[in-house]
A and B are shown apart, each in its own frame.
Chain A
Amino acid sequence: MTNDDKNTHDSQSNERFTGHGSEWREANLSREEALVATSWVEQKIDRRSMLTNKDRVEDVRDIMWQLEKDGEIVVHRVKDEHEPINVKTLYGWNKKIPTTQLWHHKSCGQCGNIPGYPASLLWLMNKMDIRYLDETDQTSCTAWNYHGSGIGNLESLAAVFLRNFHQAYIAAKAEGLREGYYYPLVHCGTSFGNYKEVRAYLLHSAELRARVKKILAKLDRLVDGKLLIPEEVVHYSEWVHVMRNQIANHQEIDASQIRTTIHPACHVYKMVPEDAIYDDEILEGNRVAVSTGIMEALGTQVIDYSTWYDCCGFGFRHIISEREFTRSFAIDRKVRVAIEEANADVMIGHDTGCITTLDKNQWIGQAAGKPVDLPILADCQFAALVCGAHPYKIVQSHWHASSTEILMEKLGIDWRVKKQEFEDYLKEVEAGNQENLYDPRRMITSGPGFKRIEQRS
């Protein structure tokens, strides 16, 4: 709508509900003037300085150690046995990323919708002999629902966080191992951001701690009568990042001709930004390092685009009930820009909602006269693919609506042959001969169906 159109509209209705307050007046800038007026904002958000110019930044881990010293909490430590690798976060602080003995905190959206995402991660771990546990005793973080609906509250989010992380702490007992053996690895970006935010509030608020302690006591999930707080909240993309060179050692398919665009997840690096990994070697430290790091290590060409910083349009609520917004934003602000500006072969993400949004919303673009076609994968799926994982058995690319086949062709993978192999394999599955990434008896650690190690013959 042009300004003239708007003015006509205004004069006809004599009312305009702008939402900007009574003092607001239209600037009536031309497109060029508007670009000049706002270009400084665009430049600023491209820089890491946007996040580092603020005061009042604290490392909540300092409070955490003090609370442990005061005898109020127990800290689940990242120990040497977890073979941690140190990385630097936004302000140059250290973060310890455990690399083995990992408890997979799954994502409901990944598992329900794009199962090749976690399967690829576990496949990579098998490739590198990483010890892990994938079990049934976990809830989702409940934060998707919370951010979408407002149902839930800080107390419920905190109780769910502490409950799941406590389970990670004790899970190894089912295998005859000691508490603390496994360290939680969070798959979902929403969970990652939510858990970090909640941890900070728990450390700050004695009142919140007191309230959730009653709940955790009722669930019998205190350690020595105290709340258990993790030393680090770790996202799977951080594990992929610190393991990127080791992963690249397993690479079987050359990816140097692939033009990659990265979509970073808002809840991974905009929420509790001080905990996100930055690396001076990766995009000069100006942008969060995860995903870009692995894609560079695998030899792809990571190409920049102007809406790198934008969200995907998921919106939590919107993807369920206002999908016009979600698909418009996903296509117009992300996918189309990546294609037109970067001539991208693929867009890589590291979060559940983003992958779903960017992948699934391309189909409707054709109907709306906005055809776009850009393969969408998670970083670990791409890594598994070029390390020789089966595109359907492991990467489960058939759940992706976007044209992953085009990407496979560029990588020299004959997807038709692989698809036929998978269809043949389904007959084996039907006959009860499916292949698993781990012993299924390990997945139940208590309750109905649980068998002790000595009973597993």
Chain B
Amino acid sequence: MGHAANGTRVQDYIGDPISDSPPVDRDELEEIFRDIQSDLRFDHELNGCLNCGICTATCPAAHYYDFSPREIVQLLWTENLEGIYDAMQEKIWSCAQCYTCAARCPFGNSPGGLIMLMREVSIKHGMQSAKDVLRPFSRVMLKLISTGNQLAPDMINADHFADWGPNISKIDAPLKLLRKAIPMPTLNTIETAWEVNLKTSVELYTIWEMTGVLDQLETIDENLFDVITDIMDEKREDWEDFVDGQGDDD
């Protein structure tokens, strides 16, 4: 069992057992844990743990990854700061967020919910692991933050989803025409899942700003942040022009 049997793995090699990176400063470990613990959901999601392992028993991610929701709960319950940091490097990103663990835990814990807190904090601290993991997610974030839709027809194509087969539609016709043939007028779109009112996008942008989400984004991906800022500034101007135009009409 090597390091695991000696019980020295976590303390000696924080983050990556074979990396040359220096051990993480104790203050930073404490700050990370404080950030997790101070979320108002923390006490609701963690009530205690007897290590029964029910959560891990049918965890889908545990079937395929070196991942155990029981371990995550234990790390938080025992305030194992090094272990928490270690888990935030990779393991927390294995979770499929199905909340089977939460439904099953006899203590009413929500390991999936706790993992969300850890993911948020890993982004707040700009962890490289979070940046690496989220890089493929940038298309979704760009679409979501700039339009209010997370998925759009133009994102589903054979280049990006080759494993879904050669035909996105079994009817061979241009995407624009197929979308126009959907009998819901809101869905006759390509760049968004539905037509989004201009005011809606502007309001959502205000929410992103006021809740610190744009700051999160800037920490993780500065280029994406710049692109989104430009898009949203333009939409705000469009909205202000419209509102001014209404005033003129009056």
Contact = CB atoms under 8 A, between A and B. Distances in A.
Interface of A: 10, 13-22, 24-25, 38, 41, 45, 50-51, 53-56, 106-113, 115, 118-119, 122-123, 134-140, 142, 144-156, 159-160, 163, 193, 201, 204-205, 207-208, 214-215, 218-219, 221, 266-267, 269-271, 273, 309-311, 313-318, 320-321, 323, 325, 327-329, 333, 360-361, 363-364, 367, 392-394, 396-401, 419, 422-423, 425-426, 429-430, 434-438, 440, 443-448
A405 B17 CA distance: 52
B122 A115 contact: no
B4 A16 contact: yes
Nearest to A137: B197
A270 to B, nearest CB: 4
The 6 closest A-B pairs by CB, nearest first: A150-B119, A112-B193, A363-B165, A139-B148, A15-B2, A321-B136
The interface residues of chain B, by DSSP majority, are classed as: helix
B41 A201 contact: yes
B106 interface: yes
Nearest to B110: A271
26 contacts: A17-B17, A19-B68, A20-B68, A24-B4, A54-B106, A106-B194, A108-B193, A110-B193, A137-B199, A138-B196, A139-B196, A142-B150, A148-B140, A150-B123, A159-B207, A201-B40, A207-B40, A266-B99, A317-B137, A321-B136, A325-B65, A360-B164, A398-B171, A429-B181, A436-B183, A447-B242
Given A106-B186, A112-B153, A320-B136, A446 B181 contact: no
Nearest to A109: B151
A151 B218 CA distance: 11
B28 interface: no
Contacts of A108: 149-152, 193-194
B102 A434 contact: no
Contacts, number: 338
B126 interface: no
Contacts of B211: 152-153, 155-156, 159, 215
A397 B2 CA distance: 54
A447 B242 CA distance: 8
Interface in B87-124: 91, 93, 96-100, 102-104, 106, 108, 116, 119-120, 122-123
A107 B150 CA distance: 9
A142 B199 contact: no
B67 A271 contact: no
Given A108-B193, A112-B149, A363 B171 contact: no
Contact of A328 (B4, B64, B156, B164): B64
Contact of B217 (A151, A423, A440): A151
Given A136-B200, A145-B144, A147-B116, A309 B58 contact: yes
A135 B195 CA distance: 9
Contacts of B197: 135-138, 444-447
B67 to A, nearest CB: 7
B61 A325 contact: yes
